[in-house]
Structure 1
């Protein structure tokens, strides 16, 4: 690991030094990087400080521009790029969110770094498929998140008499029933559209399996969407609503996580960024809380994560800062330090897994089985398609819409 770390930082230093400047007597100013991101919760803030510290240690100056909310942060980034005042780098999710910016020729590629580190072999295919466009790499992956982890309070399980963590969908619902009978909120949920989409994909992957998941989201197969198997998934998704509390609508995801941390709720289905909140609350995996990666031995691992993109600029100093930052972010030690606090796992497969916590070790072990790698919906769908499907899911969740109507509306949303 340390050799890889040294090589990555050495590459960054060499590229940063060579990106700019003609020979001159005075040393160039330290590379200054303004980074727009939405890592603003307690665990996220602690994690991004690890990147900032690593960048400073490499000789750079970090300028933190944190904006709450992914949609808002991305809008600010794009407006600034279009307005001619781009940040040095910006966070996006590992998805098609930044494809329009690539098409407009507004991002620099990071091909030199990708070739030097052999990303084609080092990175999982669902990640490569969205950061590599027309043969060029346009983003540096920061981490891997899995969207559909199940987090549970050990104290709540004990109070409800749940002796064994659920290992099937039926056992999952049985545990929810026991929590409800014990007077505990069974499922902590934030009633926001994107969180409801996570519940849907959890049911689709665990109940429908890899085949149905890909037919619906990647292939947008109309027969699969109209099938009894998909109807069963939608019914299971809607059943989850009977286990959330009345205050759920509008709740932030980290506030839902806090309910599990406090033992007021039994479980939460959320990406592994939630683990950062447990860590910030000084709770340990396997002690105060547990984590379940799937409800079947071969459950798909729904890969998403965060990337940094680098807007094009004619400023030589900014280019130097971008190259240094790209190398720092790609270094194994930076990725491990970030993920340890963020709740994710490093995107690199050559990290020392022994330094990771129990849940992260589970994720790293699963990632060794490429057959279980799947992207989240945003990997396969355009933002418009994903938004249209999300609108149907949240309407189905919050109204009396029938399952038959939901199937038809999803079919229409995903029709080519």
Structure 2
């Protein structure tokens, strides 16, 4: 054996390995996607990033609040993550206002990103004229999912109106099934209430109430009707509902134990992860309305300012990865979301995703979900109100509306 040649070869390999590590373009991602479909979606992004030569460090948290707390703590401690999974709510705006987030105006201009996004989505990503977040999927939280096997067994048709929906619920209950699978967590409960407000009022009323917070909107007969329907759903909840996670609740529909579930279209990812097909084993419809709307929630990456050159390059690399149309399509296929870019080929997406794409692209149909439209403290108060009304059958709708008025007019 030629020891000199071997030694030279090993030295060269070591130098190459060192060079590769130095140009790995590292990204450290603080995120909270933990369900089966969410994990697949995050892995889709990570795999695409690593396939381009980047180094991915995963920093998972148990939930959204934990992820934001961890990220802000790391920022304050001088060791910020490269990217934080979040939504474009008050926390994002606060970080941007404090000058803690990198903006991507330069990449956006080069890539023409504004031209390929719906205005509602683009506006969410910008703070004071700076693009401070990038979308990783568009969701709507006013969907209802149903078991095709139970519907077929009982010869039930997909509801076209709210009255139809409750008639179907009564037949499911009479047959011994859970009519509405509800996870008894505050955020799951409040979304049912807001679904009804949006369904009854449509986009225009919704914007008057939650975006403009017009006092006259609080006097509408829409609100007492919405609270009435919300309470009616509570009467169908099963005894195991309190505290149940959203994905465990979705599993009741997947396994045919429950007929329907109010839930955002991240639930679609759970059906897909279980090997089910939209239109075959499960169905979907937006909360029935004469004035259809699409209550948008956007998952985004925000990019805290970093001093390390490798991580700055990693941020750019990740930005280019998530804005790649092919990657967007792959994320949507496993997460249940629809792509944020309007120029993405959606022909391969299923029937439920196609409905979402159509609504997002139709002017006037997409609105900010209540979670996005209201500041964090107002969201918390609205959620507390919804929980109180859900758990206390003696609370009059008039009292609830008076409380809601105080919340919306407090700022």
TM-score by length of 1: 0.91
The answer to whether 1:310 aligns with 2:299 is no
Aligned to 1:205: 198
Gapped regions of structure 2 (runs ≥ 5): 1-17
Contact 1:161 1:178 in 2 (8 A): no
Residue number among 81, 84, 92 corresponding to 1:98 in the alignment: 92
* Cα distance between partner residues in 1 of 2:221 and 2:286: 26
* Cα distance between partner residues in 2 of 1:336 and 1:75: 30
Aligned to 2:355: 362
The answer to whether 1:392 aligns with 2:385 is yes
Aligned to 2:14: none
Q: Which runs of 4+ in 1 moved over 6 A?
A: none
Contact 1:300 1:372 in 2 (8 A): yes
Q: How far did 1:316 drift? A: 1.0
Contact 1:96 1:378 in 2 (8 A): no
Aligned to 2:15: none
Q: How far did 1:65 drift? A: 1.4
Q: How far did 1:364 drift? A: 1.1
Aligned to 1:70: 64
Aligned to 1:85: 79
The answer to whether 1:152 aligns with 2:151 is no
The answer to whether 1:299 aligns with 2:292 is yes
Question: Which range is displaced more, 165-174 or 206-215?
Answer: 206-215
* Cα distance between partner residues in 2 of 1:117 and 1:292: 34
Question: Which range is displaced more, 198-207 or 281-290?
Answer: 198-207
* Cα distance between partner residues in 1 of 2:399 and 2:153: 39
Q: How far did 1:292 drift? A: 0.7
Q: How far did 1:26 drift? A: 5.8
Contact 1:149 1:270 in 2 (8 A): yes
Residue number among 165, 182, 191 corresponding to 2:158 in the alignment: 165
Residue number among 122, 127, 142 corresponding to 1:128 in the alignment: 122
Gapped regions of structure 1 (runs ≥ 5): 1-24
Aligned to 1:59: 53
* Cα distance between partner residues in 2 of 1:100 and 1:331: 28
Contact 1:200 1:234 in 2 (8 A): yes
Q: Which has the larger radius of gyration?
A: 2
Residue number among 242, 253, 268 corresponding to 1:275 in the alignment: 268
* Cα distance between partner residues in 1 of 2:364 and 2:246: 30
* Cα distance between partner residues in 1 of 2:395 and 2:110: 52
Q: How far did 1:170 drift? A: 1.2
The alignment's C-alpha RMSD in Å is 1.5
Q: Secondary structure at the match of 2:405?
A: helix
After superposition, give the CA deviation of every residue in 1:93-129 in whole Å (9 maximum; x if it has no partner). 1333311111111111111122223333322233222
* Cα distance between partner residues in 2 of 1:161 and 1:247: 27
After superposition, give the CA deviation of every residue in 1:183-242 in whole Å (9 maximum; x if it has no partner). 100001111111112111211111121122112111112221232221111111111101
The answer to whether 1:117 aligns with 2:108 is no
Aligned to 1:19: none
Aligned to 2:226: 233
Residue number among 322, 329, 334 corresponding to 2:327 in the alignment: 334
Matches within 5 A, 1:212-231: 212-231=205-224
Contact 1:169 1:207 in 2 (8 A): no
TM-score by length of 2: 0.92
Contact 2:143 2:262 in 1 (8 A): yes
Aligned to 1:344: 337
- How many equivalent residue pairs? 391
* Cα distance between partner residues in 1 of 2:91 and 2:166: 34
Matches within 5 A, 1:398-413: 398-399=391-392, 400-413=394-407
Residue number among 170, 185, 189 corresponding to 1:192 in the alignment: 185
Aligned to 1:50: 44
* Cα distance between partner residues in 1 of 2:77 and 2:312: 18
Aligned to 1:142: 136
Contact 2:199 2:290 in 1 (8 A): no
Aligned to 1:11: none
